[in-house]
Amino acid sequence: MLPSQQAADRWSGDGGRFNQLTAFLPEYGGLTQATANAVLGNIWGGLRAEGLEPDTPEGAPVFAYSAEGTIRVSSRDRGPVDAYVTGVGGNFFLFHPVQLISGAYLPAETLNHDMVLIDEMIAWWLFGATDVAGLEVIIDNRPFLISGVFRPLDNFASNAAYGERPHMFLYYTAMPGAPPITTVEAVLPNPITGIAEEIFAEALDSANVDEDSFVLVNNTRRYRFTALIDVVRSFGQRSMYQTGFRLPPWENAARMAEDFAALTLVLILLLLIYPTVEGICFLVRRFRRRTWRLGMAKKRFEDIREKRRAAEWQNTRDDSGARDKEREEDETIKEVRESEGVQ
């Protein structure tokens, strides 16, 4: 339901060997583009230190970062529209493959950063159509080329997170005011459980990001049994942030889905526990109302064992008698043959 949580599977086809990780930072402690690039460099260094050869496809990391904000966009003929905007960098659309209606994603590597990806709501408002790739929009008195038009995800969590707000993507370097980068994402090799998180956390720490100022999420493991148990245990508290976190919509959608998954897990456990407890109570009641006692059961067991021993002894005796009778018959035959030979 949420493609933003499945980047490790898309990258490797085996989410067990790779993990998708996301670090969320408060706006007051957000990164600059230079610091974000330093984090990527630290990740490469951490992979080499662990012997995970990042120059091979199996060890190569995938990295992206983004910042959030609002922006006013218009066309030559119509506008403006106040839109929610995400400024992106790195291989962002590997992590967030929105559904394209027309055009293409923003290229990960290009010298031309005056392009935008808009949703169908903006396209209809400004142009009255969705096939508008190649046309221009105006942002902060600057023309931007539309690379494509996308359709927002249609599920209960994404609808609640995005609401009715128009949404668009542009390059972080083109965002007016250069807001702080508050989301850093990576897909890293994880041959040993936990090593990907350790490398990512150390890369942030080496870039002078305070370890207490960011929240690290393992997207690949967040819907597994143990992770959902942790959600249940932290119910209520996990919704409280006393620092300046501004989570992006896709993370709010993922957290909402996480809450519903945890609730479903609780219901499943209750449905399993109830018949189990009822079964135990039924057996206890039957045991208390029994007409026999342990002493009787023990005596009965001893009687059965004695009968078995007697039967075995009798079988042994019968076998011995049969052998003796067989020997007597053999001796009689031998004597008869000897007497006949003598005569």
What pLDDT digit, counting tens, does each position of 208-237 carry? 888 778 889 999 988 888 888 888 887 766
pLDDT band at 23 (very low <50, low <70, confident <90, very high): very high
**Domain definitions of the chain by residue range:** 3-221, 293-343
Average pLDDT, the chain: 84
- What is the rounded average pLDDT of the residues 180-198? 90
Weakest-pLDDT range from 85-89, 148-152, 253-257:
253-257
153 has a pLDDT exceeding 80: yes
Distances (CA, A) of 316 to 311, 321, 324, 329: 9, 9, 12, 20
Assess contact for 106 and 216: CB atoms under 8 A.
Answer: no
Give tens-digit pLDDT for 73-110.
Answer: 999 888 799 999 999 999 999 999 999 999 999 998 88
Instruction: Give the residue with greater pLDDT, 330 vs 254.
Output: 254
Assess contact for 214 and 185: CB atoms under 8 A.
Answer: no
Assess contact for 40 and 90: CB atoms under 8 A.
Answer: yes
What local confidence, expressed as pLDDT, does residue 151 receive? 93
Give tens-digit pLDDT for 121-141.
Answer: 999 999 999 999 999 999 999
pLDDT band at 343 (very low <50, low <70, confident <90, very high): very low
Euclidean distance between CA atoms 260 and 285, whole angstroms:
37
Pick the closest to residue 193 from 1, 19, 7 (CA basis): 19
Q: Residue 39: helix, strand or coil by DSSP? A: helix
User: pLDDT exceeding 70 applies to what percent of the chain?
Assistant: 86
- What is the rounded average pLDDT of the residues 21-33? 89
What local confidence, expressed as pLDDT, does residue 292 receive? 61
Sign of the C-alpha dihedral, residues 193, 39, 7, 211? positive
277 has a pLDDT exceeding 80: yes
243 has a pLDDT exceeding 70: no
Assess contact for 165 and 83: CB atoms under 8 A.
Answer: yes
Distances (CA, A) of 298 to 291, 294, 330, 331, 333: 14, 6, 48, 50, 53
Say what the pTM is. 0.75
